[in-house]
């Protein structure tokens, strides 16, 4: 347990060590969602809300075959779309957002995915987390993605005290090197799925044990 209060410089150095250790543990990381083009990624990320990537990846091959582009989603029969995504949960809300999002992209953006966070979050079903995933994957832009794993582990690591995703994102942006924002998010997500699950973190096996104030044995 770290007892001494860290200043900003010390916290940044610790974060760099965290990144090095996790990069060694997870040398090959990528987005957990399977997609073939930007539109498919956007739809998959909307579906991933309150749902695992594995479940979304089971649904999307059939979904994208039935609705192959923005126009198909925009003009889809809502009931048919709901049935196709039923197993991802909150299917009525997601179907509505997907259809409205695609309609708005066609109407206001010429069918292209906006390249700015400000424009993306105006789309139905797109929050800051979703927007940062899309911007990072499609355009290679750096952003901190705060999902449930990032939220929980960043608190265990004492990199934030907040429960609010926007505040957590801001706190992490202060201590994580800007060119590593995407990487850091992916690393915490992988770590949350493998060694640091919410129910039982494997602290005794973790490379971050000495760097994590929340570690327990």
Q: At what angle do helices 8-25 and 165-175 cross, to 10 degrees?
A: 90
- Single out the residue of 126, 44, 47 nearest to residue 86, CA to CA: 47
Q: Do both 76 and 135 map to the same domain? A: yes
Residue 96 domain-assigned?
yes
17 belongs to a structural domain: yes
Same domain, 126 and 52: yes
**Any idea what the CATH number is for the domain that residue 124 is in?**
1.10.340.30
Question: Is 159 inside a domain boundary?
Answer: yes
Look at residues 119, 139, 159 and tell me which one is the last residue of a structural domain: 139
| pLDDT band of 1, cuts 50, 70, 90 | very low
pLDDT tens digits, 154-195: 999 999 999 999 999 999 999 999 999 999 999 999 999 999
DSSP string of 131-157, one letter each residue: HHHHHHHHH--------HHHHHHHHHT
Q: Among all chains, which residue has been given the structure tokens 């994208």?
A: 64
**Domain annotation covers residue 197:** yes
Helices (H) and strands (E) in the chain, counts: 11, 0
- Residue 24: give the domain boundaries: 8-30+144-211
**Residues 170, 176, 179, 180: is their CA dihedral positive or negative?**
negative
Whether 3 is covered by a domain: the verdict is no
Assess contact for 117 and 143: CB atoms under 8 A.
Answer: yes
Q: Look at residues 83, 106, 139 and tell me which one is the last residue of a structural domain.
A: 139
Q: Would you name the residues annotated as active-site residues? A: 129, 147
Which sign, positive or negative, has the C-alpha torsion 109, 38, 115, 88?
positive
| Same domain, yes or no: 79 and 113 | yes
CA pair distance 78, 75, nearest whole angstrom: 9
- Give the model confidence (pLDDT) of 75-115 as tens digits: 999 999 999 999 999 999 999 999 999 999 999 999 999 99
Residue 122 tokens, joined:
């105006």
Nearest to 145 by CA among 169, 161, 123: 169
Neighbour count for residue 192 (Cβ, 10 Å): 20
- Integer-rounded Cα Rg, in Å, for the chain is 19
pTM of the model: 0.88
Same domain, 43 and 114: yes
Summarize pLDDT for 45-54 with one digit per residue, the tens: 999 988 999 9
């Amino acid at each position: 347990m770290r007892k001494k209060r860290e200043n900003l410089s010390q916290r940044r150095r610790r974060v760099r060590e965290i990144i090095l250790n996790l990069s060694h543990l997870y040398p090959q990381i990528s987005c957990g969602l399977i997609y073939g083009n930007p539109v498919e990624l956007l739809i998959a990320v909307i579906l991933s809300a309150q749902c695992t990537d594995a479940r979304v990846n089971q649904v999307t091959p059939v979904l994208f075959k039935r609705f192959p582009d923005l126009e198909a989603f925009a003009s889809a029969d809502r009931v048919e779309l709901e049935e196709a995504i039923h197993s991802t949960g909150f299917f009525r809300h997601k179907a509505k957002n997907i259809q409205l999002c695609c309609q708005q992209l066609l109407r206001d953006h010429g069918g292209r995915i906006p390249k700015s966070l400000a424009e993306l979050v105006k789309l139905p079903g797109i929050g800051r987390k979703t927007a940062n995933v899309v911007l990072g994957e499609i355009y290679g832009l750096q952003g901190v993605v705060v999902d449930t794993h990032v939220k929980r582990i960043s608190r265990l690591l004492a990199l934030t005290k907040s429960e609010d995703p926007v505040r957590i994102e801001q706190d992490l942006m202060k201590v994580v090197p800007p060119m590593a924002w995407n990487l850091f998010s992916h690393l915490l997500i992988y770590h949350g799925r493998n060694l640091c699950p919410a129910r039982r973190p494997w602290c005794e096996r973790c490379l971050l044990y000495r760097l994590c104030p929340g570690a327990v044995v």
